[in-house]
Amino acid sequence: MIFPKRKNIQTATREQLIVVGSKNPVKVNSTSKGFHKIFDEQHFIVEGLNINSQVSDQPMGDQETYQGAFNRASNAQKTFPEADFWVGIEGGVEDTGEEMSAFAWVVILNKAGKIGKSKTATFILPEAISKLVRGGMELGEADDKVFDRENSKQESGAVGILTKGAVDRAKYYEQAVSLALIPLSNEGLY
């Protein structure tokens, strides 16, 4: 089988601007790394903005989490329309029977009006954390309380803590950013 050659979105060598709908350094860095891996010959400037997701502080369920990611990307586009790409990353949780799983959605919009989207892998949260989240606490706050940390959501996050660093939050998001870029990096197929 012959695969089409990967095309860069633009052939010009100018730096392209990516706006991430969050100032969280993990989300900004994972976006930068994901873009640079997929478009290795392009030059990017990646900036984070405080953008409202217009969903709950702790999204519950797949749909609300996706909507938060989409809203972040869309609102970033409205806030800074001069950019080339807009990225929304939203972490969420979902009850699955007696257990609670965690995941994130990534949505990427480009100037041509295309959309890329991907969801991270899911993992089961410990009951101590799930209980706090069900009680109204954000996942990051629950992690901090259970593991006696501060601001873990801007560092390793639950996935990093629970895997003892084997899967850190930045790489976790980076993979989803790369996957969300599939329709944007394979123009002839999508």
Is 82 flagged in the annotation as binding? yes
CA 126 to the chain's CA centroid: 22
Count Cβ atoms below 10 Å from residue 7 Cβ, excluding itself. Answer: 13
Report d(CA 143, CA 158) in Å as an integer.
Answer: 6
Is 83 flagged in the annotation as binding? yes
Question: Per DSSP, which regions of the chain are E strands?
Answer: 16-20, 44-48, 85-96, 99-110, 115-119, 123-124
Count Cβ atoms below 10 Å from residue 1 Cβ, excluding itself. Answer: 2
- Residue set of the binding site for Mg(2+): 82
Residues at the annotated binding site for substrate? 82-83
Binding residues: 82-83
